[in-house]
Amino acid sequence: MNKDIIVEVKNICKNFDTTVALDSVSFSVNRGEVLGLVGENGSGKSTVTSILSGIQNADKGSMLFNSNNWNPNSMIEALECGVGMIVQESGTVPGISVAENIYLAESGEFKEIRNRLNKFGLINRKKMISSAQKALDEINASHIDASIMTGMLSIQDRKLVEIAKVMSKRPDLLIIDETTTALSQGGREIIYKLIEDMRNNNKSVIFISHDLDEITEVCDSLTVLRDGKIITHFKKEDFDEEKIKTAMIGRELEGSYYRTDYDGTTSSDVVVELKNVCYSNNVRDINLRIHSGEILGVGGLSHCGMHELGKILFGSLSPDKGKVIANGKTIKTERDAIKSNIGYVSKDRDVESLNLDASIRDNIAIAGLDLMVNQFGVITSKREIEYVKSQINLLSIKCSSMNQRVSALSGGNKQKVVFGKWIGRGSEILILDCPTRGVDVGVKQAMYRLIYEMKKEGKTIVIISEELTELIGMVDRLIVMKDGKISKELMRNENLSESDIIHYMI
């Protein structure tokens, strides 16, 4: 092994039942290099890095790390030996403290703390919290209190806790799997700083992202996977966005990416109305009317209140003051929302939108059981199978069968399952919170087309997003939130720019 190479993957193969996830995948990473892994959802990026980090084993092939054979039995062992991974979805336990999450199941400093017991034989919690706070401070996440329960944190701050946990071990190789999709710009800046520090200290990073602007800016080289195989490798000087996209999906993207029309007019029919809605300090005195056939965008910084607003619209959060009215009925609970034909796609899909241990069939069918009842009041298997199959075909969900567990799907295919759940029951109002998070360019384009088609059918779409290009490209009207209030309303305009919006966010 070349002394400049920190990790080498040789002919790695991995199958899940009849699905080939990796087919003789080989690549290497040099010291001081930031390697980007890109590809469509289900291309094998997360699978190969999960093998590198000890989450699962390969069926065939070998790996070298620091010139030694590498086959870790767990993420804990890998991290102790110098390979740390920040996973795509949630990697924290909500029912314990931030400090306990940072030192959970580790054999390093937590063991040292455990060995310094007090006279009652209990862990020195004060020392553990102090040490965890130091780990948070070191990644510039000092706003997080290490002593509080992790479940009280936002999805972004839970992700920062994971980052602090990994970085506290000073890894030689850091794997970042779609982490930035859960972060606001401030959180992303933390990641970018850590990547730069790793590079400057002659350490290495494998960076997975569907944001091509981000990955071409951050990475020194790119490796493209498609259908479990290495397709090509790009050096920094050869980066070309169109060539990368074509390599990822095997064809050139045809047609427009976003909407091309700039007629933002909608029906005059108001289908959703918020009257003086307040929730804690997150949402303050919101008055808003949303129309039939409208795509309404909601943008702002991560703690502006927009994610809470989405939950209020779906009845997941009950306002302290004011009310939400949809189709003439007051929405107080999720049951009220579903009866009013409202669907909701959560930013935190693995926790709030999916049952990962259940099948694709169960996850899609659960929202439409009332549509599968026959004249005798019985849900028939035939109707359920037809219902689910139609959504799998409509959304091109990649799976071995409808009975496959959702936990085995890629991030993009999980998101398709969530869409299928609500589209299948014919929801007329859709609340989409970061709908393209963790989704590749091909699937994004398909989702945008689907959203636009639903608009033309007269359906009402609310897109909550931290991606300004997405909002500019798709919505008829954009409300910008700041400190829980609406700071500005902007109409669809071909001259609208990110700088026009950011001014009202900060």
458 domain residue, yes or no: yes
- Which pLDDT belongs to residue 356? 92
Please tell me whether residues 69 and 117 are part of one structural domain.
yes
CATH code for position 456:
3.40.50.300
DSSP 494: T
Is 366 inside a domain boundary? no
- Based on the fold, state whether residues 328 and 204 are members of the same structural domain: no
Q: Is 197 found in the same domain as 302?
A: no
Please say which residue of 249, 283, 318 terminates a domain. 249
Give pLDDT, residue 348: 85
Whether residues 219 and 92 share a domain: the answer is: yes
- In the predicted structure, residue 112 carries a pLDDT above the cut 70: no
Same domain, 115 and 208: yes
237 or 114: whose pLDDT is higher? 237
The answer to whether 8 and 63 are in contact (CB under 8 A) is: yes
pLDDT at 378: 83
Domain final position from 218, 249, 280:
249
Weakest mean pLDDT among 105-114, 115-124, 157-166: 105-114
State the pLDDT confidence band at 263, using cuts at 50, 70 and 90: confident
Task: Examine residue 433 and state whether it is found in any structural domain, yes or no.
Answer: yes
Position 116 scores a pLDDT of: 47
Tokens of 203: 């350490």
23 near 182, Cβ under 8 Å?
no
Verify that 274 and 186 share a domain, yes or no. no
Q: Mind spelling out the 3-state secondary structure of 347-409?
A: CCHHHHCCCCCCEHHHHHHHHHHHHCECCCCCECHHHHHHHHHHHHHHHCCCCCCCCCEHHHC
- 166 and 30 in one domain? yes
How far apart CA 283 and CA 308 sit, in angstroms, is: 7
Residues 60 and 178 in one domain: yes
pLDDT band at 113 (very low <50, low <70, confident <90, very high): low
Residue 346 lies in a domain: no
295 and 178 in a common domain? no
Residue 337 lies in a domain: yes
- Domain contains 121: yes
Q: What are the tens digits of pLDDT across the range 380-426?
A: 888 999 999 999 999 999 888 999 999 888 888 899 999 999 999 99
Structural domains in the chain (count): 2
Statement to judge: residues 192 and 309 lie in one domain: no
Residues 472 and 21: their CA atoms lie apart, in Å, by 36
Q: Are 146 and 36 in the same domain?
A: yes
DSSP H helices in 145-240: 155-167, 185-200, 212-218
> What does the CA dihedral 419, 210, 255, 420 come to, rounded to 10 degrees?
-10
Categorize the per-residue pLDDT at 121 as very low, low, confident or very high, splitting at 50, 70 and 90.
Answer: low
Report the percent of the chain where pLDDT is more than 90. 62
- Tens of pLDDT, residues 300-327: 987 889 999 999 999 999 999 999 999 9
Question: What average pLDDT does the segment 137-159 reach?
Answer: 91
Residue of higher predicted confidence among 231 and 255? 231
Same domain, 281 and 154: no
Q: Say if residue 106's pLDDT is above 80.
A: no
- Is residue 370, in this structure, part of any structural domain at all? no
Q: What is the pLDDT of residues 42-99, one digit of tens each?
A: 788 989 999 999 999 999 999 999 999 999 999 989 999 999 999 877 778 888 999 9
Determine the pLDDT at residue 105: 65
Residue 252 confidence class, pLDDT cut points 50, 70, 90: low
Domain region containing 315: 270-341+428-505
> Is residue 458 over pLDDT 70?
yes
55 is a domain residue: yes
